[in-house]
Amino acid sequence: MKSALITGVTGQDGSYLAELLLEKGYKVYGVRRRTSTPNYENVEHIKDQIEWISADLGDLASLIEAVRVSDPDEVYNLAAQSFVAASWPQPIATGQMTAMGVTNMLEAVRLVKPEARFYQASSSEMFGKVQAIPQVETTPFYPRSPYGVAKLYGHWITVNYRESFDMFACSGILFNHESPRRGLEFVTRKVTDGVAQIKLGLSKELRLGNLDAQRDWGFAGDYVKAMWLMLQQDTPDDYVISTGEMHTVEELVQIAFDHVGLNWRDYVVIDEKFVRPAEVDLLLGDCTKAKEQLGWELEVGFDQLVKNMVDADLKRHSLKPSAVPVY
């Protein structure tokens, strides 16, 4: 039986990856960080199948212990401060977790089990002010937020450990990937949750920032399969994972409102509060390398993804007794 250690396992990607690895017969160790109000919402259904280890990306000793206890064949480093907008008010915490945390994790693996295969969750945000369209693995990086800068450090330190210590370390440059488990602050989920609330009479408006931004949005459940595939190859490498399709935030909004029969212009309010100090105007990935070398394929398209997310939020709000409007 193979074993895997996952940081960030309670997040969107961690939960889909844990499901995938459990299905494949892995013993899954999940790192949990101590918080006063733990949140297991994404992994509630598989909580008992995960071996939990308390550790923190900022505490090398705890990571060394996590690797020692789990003795993993594969390590997936998904934990991060992952919300771009929060990285301006908290640039140092973002750097400590999203950048330096990667070195801590790599050091723990190097010291305890250097032959373990390592996956680093890199991000299309590293392309930022894009230097070419579409973006591929060799496109120069130009991050536009403290988050993007931190992820770029994590990317290069992973490449560096591969080249310095001959570790099997891969960096997955994943474009935006979403699902009903996406955090409520990200624009896709904010929109689908907002639409569900408006449809159910729980809210009257949806406040957003820049509707012109364009993203390459895929389904997180498809993307975790690429993570696993990267670690099954003969040699470690870096891969772009994307859909190759780009949509504006406005298109996202339109699909979501159309799905419940409402006109978005009646509800969306532009609020400067959600406009960023420096914007990433567009991201569009070309994942030919992943398709050809990993045999990775996309299953859920953008339209379907948005509709699934709206349906899931409608269901969630309908089931919650407190969410039923009182007339």
Active site residues: 123, 125, 147
Please give the DSSP secondary-structure letter assigned to residue 135.
B
Sheet bearing 169-174, strands edge to edge: 51-54, 27-32, 3-7, 74-77, 117-123, 169-174, 238-241
Q: Which is nearer to ligand GDP, 278 or 324 (CB)?
A: 278
Q: Which is nearer to ligand GDP, 102 or 191 (CB)?
A: 191
> Which tokens in the block code for residue 276?
């960023």
Q: Which is nearer to ligand GDP, 107 or 245 (CB)?
A: 245
Please give the DSSP secondary-structure letter assigned to residue 89.
T
Q: Shortest gap between Cβ of 178 and ligand GDP (angstroms)?
A: 8
Binding site for ligand GDP (CB under 6 A): 84-85, 125, 176, 185-188, 190, 208-210, 213, 215, 249, 274, 276, 279-280
- Is residue 57 within 8 A of residue 85, CB to CB? The reply is no
Pairing of strands 238-241, 169-174: parallel
Q: Which is nearer to ligand GDP, 113 or 215 (CB)?
A: 215
Q: Which residues contact 226 (CB under 8 A, 6 or more apart)?
A: 172, 174, 239, 241, 290, 294, 296
Q: Which is nearer to ligand GDP, 137 or 250 (CB)?
A: 250
> Which tokens in the block code for residue 266?
């009646």
Decide: helix, strand or coil at residue 144. Answer: coil
Residue 15: count other Cβ atoms within 10 Å of its Cβ.
28
